Amino acid sequence: MPEPLQQLHKSHQRLARQLAHIGPVLKGSVVKRFMPCGKPNCRCQADPPQLHGPYWQWSTAVNGKTLTRRLAPEHVPLYLEWIDNRKRLEALLAKMYHLSQQATADQASKASKTASAR
């Protein structure tokens, strides 16, 4: 294997090893909400209003529509971790794309140099 490709291979394997340690991945985001309940004379209708909560929600886009789910507080850390895993996964993928693209660019410039030398 030519030297630059060996380098690419090594760098790729380093990224692939990191990839192997990423746990479950989840799209979307977690938000904390305070809300009124709608009951008359409740503290949430007072001035100033004392809203209920916090409530935790996870939202994601599915086929162009927003899907929202209420989360139990004890599930929040797990969702945050999985969402963070997805960000790490995508950062690693971006590095992999960049690496391979760099390799093809190097090859292309070599090929054009060889062609012009003829």
Query: Which spans of this chain sit near Zn ion (rule: CB under 5 A)?
Result: 37, 42, 44
| CB closer to Zn ion, 42 vs 92 | 42
CB closer to Zn ion, 39 vs 118: 39
Give the Cα separation of 43 and 72 in Å (integer).
23
In the complex, least distance from residue 50 CB atom to Zn ion, rounded to whole angstroms: 8
End-to-end CA, the chain: 25
CB of 54 to Zn ion, least distance (A): 14
What is the Cα–Cα distance from 55 to 71, expressed in whole angstroms?
8
For residues 1 and 10, give the distance between their C-alpha atoms in angstroms, rounded to a whole number: 12
| Cβ nearer to Zn ion, comparing 45 with 60 | 45
Residue closer to Zn ion (CB basis): 21 or 39:
39
Q: At a CB cut-off of 8 Å and minimum separation 6, what does 35 contact? A: 44, 51, 52, 53, 55
CB of 37 to Zn ion, least distance (A): 3
Q: Tell me how far, at minimum, the Cβ of 59 lies from Zn ion, in Å.
A: 23
